[in-house]
Amino acid sequence: MSPRWSVNIRPVERGARISLGLVGIIGGVLLLAGSPPGIVAVLEVLLILAGADLVVTGMTGHCPLYAWLARRTVQADRRS
């Protein structure tokens, strides 16, 4: 049985995505805790969501944007 999504992110990039994503989530939460409501709060929530996206794509090893752009997968790179 094949996986639903193919791994299309290299291990080094996966680690970087997870690290930067966690920094974004933690930074966004810390900034959100001390900021007044308004446009700044919206931007901080977007930072948290972007961080969460990086963590999820890093953990799964699949980036939908890479797939949509037809970026070569890790498996294809190993065959060449």
Give pLDDT tens digits for 33-80: 887 788 888 999 999 999 999 999 999 999 988 888 887 656 545 554
Choice between 9 and 1, residue whose per-residue pLDDT is larger: 9
Please check the confidence at residue 26 and state whether its pLDDT lies above 90: yes
Q: Is 76 helix (H, G, I), strand (E, B) or coil?
A: helix
What does the DSSP assignment read for 6-75? ---S-HHHHHHHHHHHHHHHHHHHHHHHTS-SSHHHHHHHHHHHHHHHHHHHHHH---HHHHHTTPPPHH
- Residue 49 has a pLDDT of 97
User: Rounded CA gap, 61 and 37, in Å?
Assistant: 35
Domain residue ranges of the chain, discontinuous segments joined by +: 11-79
- Residue 5 has a pLDDT of 74
- Residue 3 has a pLDDT of 58
